[in-house]
Amino acid sequence: MAAFAGIVRFVTTRCAILVNNPSQCTVRLTVTNNCFAPDILAMASQLSKIAIKDAMQKGSVWLKRPGTKEQRIRKSRFQLQTGDNISLFYDMQVLAKIPPLPQLVAREKNYSIWNKPAGLLTQGTRFGDHCSLLRYVEKEVDFCRTAKLVHRLDRQAQGLVVLAHNQRAAAALSSLFQSREIEKRYWGVARGRVGEIGDRLVCDTALDGKEAVTVVTVKDIVGVHDVSILDILLQTGRKHQIRRHLSMLGHPLVGDTRYGHTRESEDLLLCACFLAFICPLTGKNRRYSITPPSFPRQAVEI
């Protein structure tokens, strides 16, 4: 084992009860001698080196070297240097998850469109990124090893996500989203009768102090379950905008455990099913769509 010394700071309650709950911990270290991450983290966390190496591969270990941006480190033989700050965000349940696989919808020269399944993150968290679309594409797709995230989609939602293949495309496409030059439509199922079939409602309640506009059209009513099937046009892109606006209207989405007080076992019935824009790199009209899921009538109980 490489010699090392470090300052260990346990920064969460979970780490304080690590002996009783070895499945979760957070560790921060300041390195005072050159060493390897598995050695110093295993000593500090009481986890095995095998567990640490697995966590590194899945994106749970972070390095902040003086003068550089914080980044994940994955290679167990990466040489740590004096002054490095290294962090482990360990959650056994997160690391044990097997991610659902996304589907490629369209491959363009500078970007690609993906159908992200429900349960797959768009990008990773501090506790790992192996269950994310971005990491899947970086690892598995030969034409896009340096994928750039253009926008996000909630983990519980499914649907279309754009990934840029280079920085130029990422900047150009991000500008489209920011300037609202992309048409984004969603399919969703909300509790109760939002209106009559064909009714169009505009919710423009600001979110987090910022303008937010969601346009909802009632496509169908399933009376036996007292739910409304909706076509949703998102004109801005605030965090959880659709879910929050529908909850404010008194009609939260089926399966929304955060804003709808529903059961954990229910799937969130929200799908990003349509994107349209003028490509900023070619000037061509682009339209991408997927068929939204069928309404699982037998699965919804009011």
DSSP helix/strand/coil, 297? helix
- CB burial of 223-259 (b: ≥16 within 10 Å; e: otherwise) equals eebebbbbbbbbebebeebbbbbbbebebbbbbbeeb
Residue of 54, 84, 91, 154 marked active site? 154
Q: What is the residue type of 115?
A: N
> Residue 113 pairs with which residues in a beta bridge?
106, 162
Q: What is the residue type of 95?
A: L
> Residue 286 pairs with which residues in a beta bridge?
277
231 is catalytic: no
Surface-to-core class of residue 179, CB atoms within 10 Å of its CB (0-12 exposed, 13-18 middle, 19+ buried): exposed
Question: What phi-psi label fits residue 83: left (phi over 0), alpha (psi between -120 and 50 degrees) or beta?
Answer: left
Which residues are tagged catalytic?
154
